[in-house]
Amino acid sequence: MRVGPGATLGIVGGGQLARMMAFEAKRMGYRVAILDPDPAAPAVSVADLHISGKLDDDAAALRLANACEVVTLDTEHVPAAVLERIAHHTLVRPSPRTMGIVQDRLSQREFLSATGIPQPRTHSVSQPDDLTTVGAAVGFPFILKARRAGYDGRGQARVDSEAAVERAWASLGKVPCIAEEFVDFSREVSVLLARDVHGASSFFPIAENLHKNGVLHTTRVPARLAADVAVEAQALGERIALALDYVGVMAVEMFVTRQGSLWVNEIAPRPHNSAHFTFGACVTSQFEQHVRAVCGMTLGDPTLLSPVFMVNFLGDLWRDGPPDWSKVLRHPGVRLHLYGKEHASPARKMGHALVLDPDIERAARIAGQLAGELLSTTAHSPSRT
Ligand SMILES: Nc1ncnc2c1ncn2[C@@H]1O[C@H](COP(=O)(O)OP(=O)(O)OP(=O)(O)O)[C@@H](O)[C@H]1O
Ligand SMILES: [Mg+2]
């Protein structure tokens, strides 16, 4: 069913993804409702309607369902049961089934395995007995990841030896986890695709990602990837989307191993940080594309208009007050995005910049300079607020 402009799009979660989705949806003439407990959440000031409630609050979810022709999400950490209940009243896209599979790292790994997708060896750790077998199952070092609710590298611990296994599990609160073999990758990339209600899919260019302390730091597009590997990466993404009968924008994070193989790290069933470059460097942004897909419309043109380098701004830049944004805005070819978050904590994502330049190496240099300048201005100007 098609949901046209003028209708109300509901978003569960009011973070920066919802904010940018709301910008695009409103430009296209939709009304936007946000469900989030925080009245200061980034998307609330952009939306037409704020429904205040926790993401697992049934009554709030029902209010959202009744206010909207279609509901989508800015996070996969919404209980699938709540989404099922919303789905009794209105369209939910992507589906509650998809969210149920993806929001638990173990069921996601099992799904990928059943779909024949290459991935790191994985072992379930849910009780003390599992700790004795995990080293033999996946080898050292490995990464222990909480099955639920992790993001930006939170809820993860690297384990280097048998002696460290128990401590690592305790550090994560002894919650159910998966252990994953540590992948000695040469690159990380993400396949960014959209699938419409009729099953047609469309690909944005593949992004090459660099993480720092488990958090995305930079994205470079086009990715440095051999043509045959890029084709294979997109084929893997399409297989995953097909198996989920997916509707919306999706990112599939992948490792490129030193031998040139592709292993899937994880699925993000929503717009993704590594596709922020599309909002400024592509004909259609990932946010517009997501709105088009979940509203049952034809997908937009994903063509890249210029090579682009994205750098994320985390809260550590705010240690002496807000950074001096004129350092960014003095570059005419740079697009600044700030998420309007009131509080900055060191690893919190606060904004990003896109550097568009026909010469991608120059774009990378400018992005590196910007990050360095912002850091040094905050360090040397403690009096500015
Ligand atoms: N098995 C692994 N081997 C090597 N590095 C890994 C492994 N798993 C994760 N990492 C590193 O940690 C980063 C974050 O891990 P992951 O994507 O699992 O976490 P996340 O918290 O879901 O992150 P986000 O939601 O921000 O993408 C990865 O992008 C990668 O750099
Ligand atoms: Mg990730």
Res. 127: pLDDT tops 90: no
Query: What pLDDT, on a 0 to 100 scale, did the predictor assign at position 268?
Result: 97
**Based on the number of CB atoms within 10 Å of its own CB, is 286 exposed (0-12), middle (13-18) or buried (19 or more)?**
buried
150 CA → ligand 1 middle, Å: 10
Mean pLDDT score of the chain, rounded to an integer? 94
Asked if pLDDT for residue 9 goes beyond 50, the answer is: yes
Mean pLDDT for 231-245 is 98
* 326 CA to centre of ligand 2 in angstroms: 31
Q: Whose CA is nearest to atom 13 of ligand 1?
A: 214
**What pLDDT was estimated at residue 382?**
43
In this prediction, residue 372 carries a pLDDT of 87
Tell me the percentage of the chain whose pLDDT exceeds 90: 89
For residue 129, pLDDT beyond 90: no
Give pLDDT, residue 379.
45
Q: What is the pLDDT of residue 130?
A: 83
Beta-carbon neighbour count of residue 66 at 10 Å? Answer: 12
Residue 263 has which token pair? 């292993």
pLDDT reported for residue 376: 75
Average pLDDT over residues 129-148: 91
Q: Residue 356: pLDDT above 60?
A: yes
Q: Is 214 in the pocket of ligand 1 (CB under 6 A)?
A: yes
Q: Is the pLDDT of residue 378 over 60?
A: no
Question: Would the CB of 151 count as within 6 Å of ligand 1?
Answer: yes
- 314 bridge partner residues: 349
pLDDT value at 124 more than 90: yes
Q: Which atom of ligand 1 is nearest to the CA of 153?
A: 21
pLDDT digits (tens, 9 = 90+) for 19-66: 999 999 999 999 999 999 999 999 999 999 999 999 999 999 999 999
Residue nearest to atom 27 of ligand 1 (CA): 152
Quick one: pLDDT at residue 371?
Answer: 87
Q: Which ligand is nearest to the CA of 273?
A: 1
